[in-house]
Structure 1
Amino acid sequence: MTISTPDLCDEYGDAVQVLEPIFNHYGQIRRFGGEVVTVKCFEDNSKVGELLGTEGKGRVLVVDGGASSRRSLLGDMLVAKAVSNGWSGIVIYGYIRDIEDISEMEMGVMAIGTIPRKTEKRGEGQVNIPLHFAGVTISPGDYLYADGTGVVIASEALVGGL
């Protein structure tokens, strides 16, 4: 699958939302996309782990971690779980760790940055709710497309197979 966020913006104009350019790529896959599943959590990645343990079906997990730089919301073990369960990608509005290992995994992973401290596990978080960050609103069932240029959100599939 070839995803080009500039081409999607050219073709669909205002029908797509463009996230502010605050994310970095960390996974081996730099072009990815799929239907969105959302999680909102703060310094607790319990729900992230639960979802990545389910069948991904080529979807993208989008996590609103409140941009907290105090705890990482994703590490190599969760990315390995996502790979084995068929997720297409993970976008974290927050921080991750274990990036040397994640960089070798066949998964699209984007985040604001890195921090080595893990989260506490309190079982907190909300799943499949609208999220608002990076200048856009992302709802469950939207479609996310990412490449080296940026990240766009559409309310319907724009690329064949997604």
Structure 2
Amino acid sequence: MTTATADLYDERGDELDSLGVQFLDLGGRTSFAGPIRTVRCHRDNALVKRVLATPGGGAVLVVDGGGSLESALVGDLIAASAVENGWAGIIVNGAIRDRVAIASLGLGVKALGSNPRKSAKDGLGEVDVPVTIGGVVFTPGQHVWADADGILVER
């Protein structure tokens, strides 16, 4: 990503939504962008693992974990799989784990926080459905931009 989100908003603000929820930068890249893919799940990361094990083509996976910090939805092995499969980044409305290892990867990762507790592996949830976080809709196929200033989403 070459254009800062602040500059992008100045240029195209009427076409973009700005996410007010404050996410932490936890990956090895603080700036990333790409087409949106989504997973909606609650304390179960089987679908996250499955999606990130497929070719990403520079996409960003937005994981709506309902804001739960009770267990991690992404760990170092899943994040490493995302790198191997060409994903640009992951935005987690919830927790991750293995922060030090994830920070060393060439992957953008934003999350609300961390928790060492593993999540369930039952495969419950939905893939590639619109998800709403902080009043902003993340629609599969639309574009998302993220950097140290925040997250912008194409309307």
TM-score interval (norm. to shorter): over 0.9
Other-structure match for 2:135 = 135
CA distance in 2, matches of 1:48, 1:37: 11
Shift of 1:21: 3.7
Residue 22 of structure 2 contacts residue 150 of structure 2 at CA under 8 Å; is this kept in 1?
no
- Deviation of the 1:30 alpha carbon: 0.7
1:65-95 deviation line (CA, Å, top 9, x unaligned): 0011111100000000000000000000000
Aligned residues: 155
What 5-or-longer segments of structure 2 have no aligned partner?
Answer: none
Q: Percent identity?
A: 43
Cα contact 1:88–1:107 (8 A) shared by 2: yes
Aligned partner letter, 2:99:
I
Aligned pairs (5 A) from 1:17-96: 17-96=17-96
* TM superposition shift of 1:14: 2.1
In the alignment, the residues of structure 1 paired with residue 42 and residue 108 of structure 2 have an alpha-carbon distance, to the nearest angstrom, of: 22
- The farther-off stretch of 1-10 and 123-132 is 1-10
Are the equivalent residues in 2 in contact too, given 1:28–1:105 (CA < 8 A)? yes
* 1:103-122 pair list within 5 angstroms: 103-122=103-122
Whichever residue aligns with residue 112 of structure 2, its letter is I
- For the 8 Å contact 1:3–1:32, the answer to whether it is kept is no
CA RMSD of aligned residues (A): 0.8
- TM norm structure 2: 0.97
* Higher strand content, 1 or 2: 2
Aligned equivalent of 2:8: 8
State the alpha-carbon separation in 2 of the partners of residues 69 and 15 from structure 1: 31
